[in-house]
Structure 1
Amino acid sequence: MMTDLRSYATFLQGLLIDQVVVAAPLTDPARLEHLLTQPAPAFYDLLTAHVDALLDTWPNGATLRPESISTMALWLGVALYHLARLHEHPDEDLFTLTQRMIAVLPVADDLATQIGYHSLIWAWIRAQRYLLATSLQPLLRDLFARSPLSAVWFLHLEVLPSPQMLSSLLTYVPVRSVLHDHWLDLGLRPAEVRRGLSPERVAASAAVGRLLDQMLALDVVWRPRVLVFYEVECMLLRQGSEEHPQWPLLEQLRLARMHGDARQRRLVERALERYRPLRTIMMTDAASLRPYIYLDVRFLEQIARLYAKSTP
């Protein structure tokens, strides 16, 4: 038992320095129960280290440091340990066991548990260099469904939380701030657009639009924050001259249509779903855009034309 648990502790420790170190899987029910009911103090120290590593990257993240972390985060960590093992050594029995482990993992419904879950997932995905066999992605989606904070961070798998869960997350200023910046970082930059869009990046871009749409539907209080998001993005991604400004995705759509590139056009149109909430505001309350002077009117006109063409 101690050998298996020591291997798991080594795995958790390795994630702190972006390394994935796995040995034999943890498959014995008695050992798993021991891990949850009588975890050694070292495991609490490792969980705390992961939480601190995550919160250190957030503005004022220390204010959200939980007083305690659910031991279910250790259960989630075992699932990640098995996923790393499966990535290197596919095994049908271990796949089934991991699937069952994830199925009984409770959904994180409070911030402390969400931070505990997400800190491990965040470290694991970074250490994996975002690489995971396609056959294992359904397991990761199931994990995201139980870790709403991870779902709104890693958007390429398009597992979005309920509007109510999103609302509860956004009430915390550090969470709101870090998500705002992270979703902006998911904007497709000019060089990336020119190289060609990957399906994962397109999916993440579209998912941002759906999350912003959820925010608008939740409460009118979120409208100014959504507009600030688009105002900043409009400035960040603007290219070209003052007389002829361009925005990467919109320009790429124009070129794809001009050259009859149907595949590229479909990818770009999907990525541009991130702007559908902006179009909704333009149609329902155009006056609310006036204070946002850096929302270039030419950008807004292109968004309007984009959705005018796609509306039945």
Structure 2
Amino acid sequence: MDKHLSRYQMLFSLGFIFMLVAAVGAFFAGVEVGSSRTESRYEAKKLLASAASAKTSYSQQDLVSFYHTVFSPYREFQNEWLAMEKKVESRNIPASSSLLKDLGDLADEKRKEIESVRSVPDTGLLASARIGYLASLDSISQASAAAAKVASGQPADSFLSSLRKQQSYKDAARKGLAAQKDYYSSMLKWASGVDGGIPSEAVLTGTVQSSAWSSYPLLVKIKLMADLLEKRGRWTDYYPQDLAGSVDALLQSGESQRLHASSINELADVVTGTGAVRGGDFWTMKSRLYGKETLPQLPFFLPPDN
């Protein structure tokens, strides 16, 4: 009897331990799978949205509507976040958990705002851009939550270095820049429909020589700068048109020859690496550098007083 009971107890104990190990394993697997499913959900939607992008054309109303309902809310958050980084870097404010929590809440708020939009097409570049911006906000929300746990009391340099090394932070920048590229690609689709001299697509695949650059329509130059920003991973508070204008200003000044930079890629790296590009630069040089160009009537292409 005792021997039988002892065997029963042993089997029961082994069974209990097995179930406990399985439950713990399932929990941690669930956490990882949940995160992967979120990522996969966005990737699947992006693939579906991109499937029709080659065939899709856009009206100016499509571009304007997207600007106000998706692009602008995202940029409002992005500018707040980048302003925080600059203030911490310049020691104007300390890194704090409450600051990161507020920014995480803002990211969630903007994501819900963009998610509620129903005016964006279900397929094509604008749909892909919207999905990318939503995914970017999800990732930066995760980054802010992780950073908030260790922010208080950290030296500024240490805090920013740790923050920028986070995979969720890198993902947020990458997804946001890819979405920005898609939005500017949609502008080219629109432009080619109203001006036969503008191609419907332009992709930065290698080095662009200055001689070729000078012959490009302005919107093509701007799209190529959106490509370059994505390739370089530069999540910035200035726009691709600000970078295009800075490059053209450098070419016009003759400084490119002194720098021995023969490609646009090199010139763009010079002006971004030295902090010579700022948001709004495009409008300080537009009338001086460019004549009549085909651009959609979007707020960031219109005079500042409009």
TM-score of the pair, normalised by structure 2: 0.26
Specify the structure having the higher radius of gyration (Cα).
2
